[in-house]
Amino acid sequence: MKCCLQMKRMSLFVLDKDECWVLADNESLKPKEANDSRKFGPVSMTGIVGRVIYCLRTAVDHGPVQNSHSSMRKDAPVLQVELDVDEMAKNHKA
């Protein structure tokens, strides 16, 4: 399955099945300042190391991602120290 992306310049390109397009989430950066796929292109899925530990869909629909039990035990201290759910929900744009 291929995925198509369309950028602001109206150029269309296709990602291969094993590719991912990554974007910086720092809104204060201009696109040319961001170190993301706009600069270096698609990333192979084999080049991505890590896992999602929390998902924020809306201010009321969010929570920890259900990973393996051992992973969730390792992630719990990170979520307790680094996650500010109230701040995330306040700043979330639907």
- Tell me the pTM: 0.46
For 56, other C-beta atoms within 10 Å of its C-beta total: 14
pLDDT tens digits, one per residue of 36-81: 888 889 999 898 888 888 887 777 788 888 889 999 899 888 888 8
Q: Answer whether residue 2 shows pLDDT above 70.
A: no
Residue 51 Cα distances to 55, 65, 66, 68, angstroms: 11, 9, 11, 11
Distance of CA 38 to the CA centre of its chain: 15
Among positive and negative, which fits the CA dihedral 75, 80, 83, 89? positive
By DSSP bridging, strand 62-64 and strand 43-44 are unpaired
